[in-house]
Amino acid sequence: MKFKINRDHFVTGLSQVINVVGTRASMPILSNVLIEAEGDTVSLTTTNLDLGIRARIKAEVSTNGTITLPVKKLATIVRALPSNDTTVELSGQNRVKITSGGSVFQIMGLAADQFPPLPTFADQHNFSLAQKDLSGLLKKVAYAQSTDENRYILNGVFFNFGEGKLSLVATDGRRLATAEKTMTIGEDEGGSLILPAKTVAELQRLLGDAGEVAITFNDRQVSFVTQITKNDTGLVDNIRLVSKVVEGNYPNYRQVIPKETVHRVDIERELLLECVGRAAIMTSDKSSSVKLTVGNNEIEISASSTEFGEAHEKVAVKYDGPEVKIAFNPQYLSDPLRALSDDTVHFEFKDDMSPGVFKNKEDFLCVVMPQRLS
Amino acid sequence: MSRELPTFVHLDADAFFVAVERALDPSLRGKKVAVGGRQRGIISSASYEARACGVYTPMPTAQALRVCPDLILVSGGMGRYGEFSRRLFALCETVTPLVERRSIDEGFMDVGPCGWRSAEEIAAKIRALQQRIREELDLPVSFGLATAKLVAAIASKQRKPEGFTVVAAGAEESFLAPLPIGVLPGVGKKTEVLLKANGIVKVADLLAHGDAELAALLGRDWRDWQRMARGEDDSEISLEREDAKSYSQQETFAEDAADFAIILRVAKGMLDALLPKVRADGKRARTLTVKVRYPGMGEDVAGRSLAAATDLEGPFYALLESLLRQAWRRRAAVRLVAVRLSGIEGEESQLELFGENREREERQRRLAEAVDALNARSGGRVRHGHQLGRGKN
């Protein structure tokens, strides 16, 4: 194996795959990146057995070959190389020589045949959509995933292809966010999956703002193949991410979305976000909620705690219903407000024990359960 | 900075647990009564009549029954004591907002902000409070009034029960002087023996000894001791109530228990006693830990957390049996079982989205609150079904 590669391209390629490493002591090869040189590309693959990523970069390959090298160490070396012109070659049994300018590194690796291959699987569902659309959907819901390991079904984002749209849902049992995008889905083509949180984070990193992403899945696995459109990065073809799905039935989330609107106000999104952030300064571990009091054409955002004191702020809104005061975890208010880009959001509510709902004009809603005040 | 009026008030309920039992059951009045577990238990409170007989706290129950064979034992219930304590301090707070709870039956008040102009006026107002506590709660409480917390706390102990001692401004040192050295806080049994061996028997003796001698005896804090002896203490009322980090209860069995059903019933009874306290404090708990101790003093523990904190019995009942089985891994007879609720969360509770159980939970909470209210009035007569049938003790 021998190839010449641009150092910056090499850095870019490694940075796509470096987050996915295994930590099992019994399989040290999982901390390595599989390097496969062939034709005019070098493939870089990492896996932790639950999740694997493959990126391709352009290179001048003079001798085809494969090897695995410790990915963290390799990335540190490559970032530090003095010259853009870098040569990588097999220099002995499982040993690689990297030359750049006057600098020479010899790194020990492991044979490629021990590296677990990225799974290929029988496809049941195939969909394709714009990367920026999927990226936008994920941003609108990902924060609502549960991190409580006792609720592993909720440790991910639910993808549902059906009824002429892709719906993404995430919930931690206290708030629920859903976003959707219309797309053509054939009669029998619908399906759903739960994408694990770790994969969601990697996917969000990989998705760009141009090109398509192809999604393929069955009951156990899913793959995302993102087209490379920009070509100054050295990345070529596509990046392929293969992941296990969270197995199990996602809860019936539709039942917790209020069927009817009792009261509604329209609020300037950024202003509300700022007000919530200011009020939250006065919350404490013991009094952790921010109160929204809606009445007589204004909404008051307030918080108080015996330890610190209190904060109040009023914002004019159009509302002539009865006064309603609801307490929320401020994070649950600011997360959806931050994830949106609309100027105005709708806030729907009923009373202090019923969920509040944020909506934008078309594709998004977030249901937030209040906090009971004793 | 010493005050010109005795505005620090220390209150100390007399034989509190016994007094509560008597308030609930007047037939216990005037009798030798003690609160404590039978046989292997410990006396936690004894009436003055029982004390006259030689019963003290803490004393093993078996020993108490030997020195005082006609002692009436009451098994006690923390729920009702907590409730009486709450009501006791609530009455104090009608006098001044500056009330510091030191324990379930003891605390300080600062009546400085009340604007009373003479020691006589202060004494009259606090006498009225003492009277009101007697009338409304039927509890005897001793009071000490002084210009400093330290002196007030010592004063309240001078004439129990239902004592009332006022130490006038300027009289602190002469008040303390003749008292035995042991009244000062921080003087434990060992220190007391040491001091007495060196001729320091009364508080006044601290001031009569030379500096070098005191320093050698008491270490570098000796000046603080002299300040105490003069009744100097500039500490203020502390309103920051330590929030409970956990709620726990334990019971030593009269006879080592090997019957799982009995151990479980006792443990459930503890949950029944703890959760009303959690509710009364407006808190919720997330983690349940069960401990069993064997006669050889070895012990095993098991614990688990709920997905969300609660103040209801139901979710913990569901965990209790399996935790107890897990903890009781030696399958040998058990001497003691303990239940602890931790992961305490505060005033606000986050509501859940997926609540097929939400309405049921609301109903359970209403029921629990109704039971708590009944028990507060009746002194714990409303019990859960699983505690009926075979009587405790």
Please indicate, yes or no, if residue B58 is contained in any of the structural domains.
Answer: no
**Closest by alpha carbon to A31, among A41, A44, A16, A20?**
A20
B194 and B253 assigned to the same domain? no
Which residues of B form the catalytic set?
Answer: 106
3-state secondary structure of A111: coil
Q: Are A66 and A112 in contact (CB under 8 A)?
A: yes
What total of structural domains would you count in chain A?
3
B281 and B313 assigned to the same domain? yes
CB contacts, 8 Å: A289 with chain B: 348
CB contacts, 8 Å: A369 with chain B: 350-353
**pTM, 2 dp:** 0.62
B198 and B296 assigned to the same domain? no
Asked if omega into B58 is within 30° of 0 (cis), the reply is: yes
ipTM of the complex: 0.81
The rounded distance, in Å, linking the Cα atoms of B336 and B260 is 13
A298 and A198 assigned to the same domain? no
**Closest by alpha carbon to A20, among A268, A250, A297, A239?**
A239
The rounded distance, in Å, linking the Cα atoms of A351 and A342 is 26
* Chain A CB within 8 Å of residue B261 CB: no
* Chain A CB within 8 Å of residue B350 CB: yes
The rounded distance, in Å, linking the Cα atoms of B293 and B338 is 8
Asked which of B229, B261, B293 is the last residue of a domain, the reply is B229
Q: Which residues contact B389 (CB under 8 A, 6 or more apart)?
A: none
* Chain A CB within 8 Å of residue B242 CB: no
A246 and A160 assigned to the same domain? yes
The letter for the amino acid at A24 is R
The rounded distance, in Å, linking the Cα atoms of B152 and B8 is 6
User: Which 8-state DSSP code applies to residue A355?
Assistant: -
* Residue-wise burial string across B206-228, b where 16 or more C-beta atoms lie within 10 A, e elsewhere: bbebeeeebeebbeeebeebbeb
Please indicate, yes or no, if residue A40 is contained in any of the structural domains.
Answer: yes
Please indicate, yes or no, if residue A83 is contained in any of the structural domains.
Answer: yes
A330 and A235 assigned to the same domain? no
B350: nearest CB among A174, A285, A287: A174
A225 and A264 assigned to the same domain? no
B327 and B219 assigned to the same domain? no
The whole-angstrom distance between A279's CA and the closest CA on chain B is 16
**Closest by alpha carbon to A10, among A96, A66, A77?**
A77
Say yes or no for a CB contact (<8 Å) between A369 and B349.
no
Asked which of A194, A219, A254 is the last residue of a domain, the reply is A254
B356 and B279 assigned to the same domain? yes
Please indicate, yes or no, if residue A119 is contained in any of the structural domains.
Answer: no
A224 and A150 assigned to the same domain? yes
B221 and B316 assigned to the same domain? no
Q: Are A292 and A311 in contact (CB under 8 A)?
A: no
- In CATH, what number is assigned to the domain containing residue A355? 3.10.150.10
Please indicate, yes or no, if residue A28 is contained in any of the structural domains.
Answer: yes
Say yes or no for a CB contact (<8 Å) between A174 and B307.
no
Q: Are A203 and A51 in contact (CB under 8 A)?
A: no
Identify residues of A whose CB sits under 8 angstroms from chain B CBs. Answer: 148, 150-151, 171, 173-176, 251, 256, 285-289, 327, 329, 353, 355, 367, 369-374
Please indicate, yes or no, if residue B39 is contained in any of the structural domains.
Answer: no
The rounded distance, in Å, linking the Cα atoms of A106 and A99 is 9
Please indicate, yes or no, if residue B296 is contained in any of the structural domains.
Answer: yes
B281 and B197 assigned to the same domain? no
CB contacts, 8 Å: B348 with chain A: 287-289, 327, 371-374
Please indicate, yes or no, if residue B183 is contained in any of the structural domains.
Answer: yes
The rounded distance, in Å, linking the Cα atoms of B43 and B54 is 12
Asked which of A254, A272, A302 is the last residue of a domain, the reply is A254
Enclosing domain of residue B304: 246-388
Please indicate, yes or no, if residue B87 is contained in any of the structural domains.
Answer: no
Q: Which residues contact A86 (CB under 8 A, 6 or more apart)?
A: A4, A5, A6, A7, A10, A78, A98, A99, A100
Phi-psi region at B238: left, alpha or beta (left = phi > 0; alpha = psi -120 to 50): beta
B267 and B339 assigned to the same domain? yes
B260 and B378 assigned to the same domain? yes
B254 and B378 assigned to the same domain? yes
* Chain A CB within 8 Å of residue B359 CB: no
Q: Three-state SS across chain B?
A: CCCCCCCEEEEEECCHHHHHHHHHCHHHCCCCEEEECCCCCEEEEECHHHHHCCCCCCEEHHHHHHHCCCCEEECCCHHHHHHHHHHHHHHHHCCCCCEEEEECCEEEEECHHHCCCCHHHHHHHHHHHHHHHHHHHCCCEEEEEECCHHHHHHHHCCCCCCCEEECCCCCHHHHHCCCEHHHCCCCCHHHHHHHHHCCCCEHHHHHHCCHHHHHHHHHHHHHHHHHHHCCCCCCCCCCCCCCCCCEEEEEEEEEEECCHHHHHHHHHHHHHHHHHHHHHCCCEEEEEEEEEECCCCCEEEEEEEEEEEECCHHHHHHHHHHHHHHHCCCCCCEEEEEEEEECCECCEEECCCCCCCHHHHHHHHHHHHHHHHHHHHHCCCCCCHHHCCCCCC
Interface size between A and B, measured as CB pairs under 8 A: 52
The rounded distance, in Å, linking the Cα atoms of B182 and B203 is 8
Q: Are B153 and B175 in contact (CB under 8 A)?
A: no
Burial of A57 (0-12, 13-18, 19+ CB in 10 A): buried
A283 and A239 assigned to the same domain? no
What own/partner pairs with CB < 8 Å and gap ≥ 24 does A183-186 have?
A183/A127, A183/A129, A185/A127, A185/A161
A35 and A103 assigned to the same domain? yes
Burial of B69 (0-12, 13-18, 19+ CB in 10 A): exposed
Say yes or no for a CB contact (<8 Å) between B348 and A171.
no
Give the H/E segment covering residue A169. Answer: strand A165-171
Say yes or no for a CB contact (<8 Å) between B353 and A355.
yes
Q: Are B13 and B88 in contact (CB under 8 A)?
A: yes
Q: Which residues contact B11 (CB under 8 A, 6 or more apart)?
A: B92, B106, B107, B108, B109, B141, B142, B143, B156
A133 and A237 assigned to the same domain? yes
- For A284, the closest chain B residue by CA position comes to B346
The rounded distance, in Å, linking the Cα atoms of A34 and A43 is 8
- In CATH, what number is assigned to the domain containing residue B320? 3.30.1490.100
The letter for the amino acid at B269 is G
The whole-angstrom distance between A142's CA and the closest CA on chain B is 17
Q: Are B31 and B49 in contact (CB under 8 A)?
A: yes
Q: Helices H, strands E: what count in chain A?
A: 6, 26
Asked which of A46, A80, A114 is the last residue of a domain, the reply is A114
What total of structural domains would you count in chain B?
2
A371: nearest CB among B308, B349, B354: B349
For residue range A78-117, what is the model confidence (pLDDT) as tens digits? 999 999 999 999 999 999 999 999 999 999 999 999 999 8
Q: Which residues contact B279 (CB under 8 A, 6 or more apart)?
A: B311, B368, B369, B372
Rg from Cα positions in chain B: 24
**Closest by alpha carbon to B186, among B145, B156, B246, B228?**
B228
Give, in degrees to the nearest 5, the angle at Cα A12 between A6 and A15.
140
Where in A2-64 does DSSP place strands (E)? Answer: 2-6, 32-38, 41-47, 51-58, 60-63
CB contacts, 8 Å: A371 with chain B: 348-351
A58 and A176 assigned to the same domain? no
The rounded distance, in Å, linking the Cα atoms of B30 and B17 is 15
B357 and B278 assigned to the same domain? yes
CB contacts, 8 Å: A372 with chain B: 348-351
The rounded distance, in Å, linking the Cα atoms of A292 and A276 is 9
**Closest by alpha carbon to A168, among A128, A203, A195?**
A195
Asked if omega into A355 is within 30° of 0 (cis), the reply is: no
Say yes or no for a CB contact (<8 Å) between A148 and B351.
no
Joined together, the tokens standing for residue A166 give 């892709």
A196 and A218 assigned to the same domain? yes
* Chain A CB within 8 Å of residue B347 CB: yes
Enclosing domain of residue A262: 257-368
- pLDDT by residue for chain B (393 residues), tens digit each? 468 899 999 999 999 989 999 998 889 988 999 988 765 677 878 999 999 988 887 778 888 888 999 999 888 766 678 788 888 998 998 888 888 887 788 899 999 888 888 999 999 999 999 999 999 999 999 999 999 999 999 999 998 889 999 999 999 999 999 999 888 887 777 778 888 888 889 999 988 888 888 888 887 778 888 888 999 988 888 775 556 678 888 887 777 888 888 889 889 888 988 898 888 777 888 899 999 988 876 888 999 888 778 888 888 998 899 999 999 988 888 888 999 998 887 767 788 888 655 667 777 777 887 787 777 666 556 666 665 544 333
Whole-angstrom CA distances from B239 to B98, B103, B109, B183, B236 are 7, 13, 10, 25, 9
Rg from Cα positions in chain A: 25
Please indicate, yes or no, if residue B323 is contained in any of the structural domains.
Answer: yes
What length is written for chain B?
Answer: 393
B254 and B374 assigned to the same domain? yes
CB contacts, 8 Å: A333 with chain B: none
Please indicate, yes or no, if residue A213 is contained in any of the structural domains.
Answer: yes
- pLDDT by residue for chain A (374 residues), tens digit each? 999 999 999 999 999 999 998 777 778 999 999 999 999 999 999 999 999 999 999 999 999 999 999 999 999 999 999 999 999 999 999 999 999 999 999 999 999 999 998 888 777 889 999 999 999 999 999 999 998 777 789 999 999 999 999 999 999 989 999 999 999 988 788 899 999 999 999 999 999 889 999 999 999 999 999 999 877 888 999 999 999 999 999 999 999 999 999 999 999 999 999 999 999 999 987 788 999 999 999 999 999 988 889 999 999 999 999 999 999 999 999 999 999 999 999 999 999 989 999 999 889 999 999 998 76
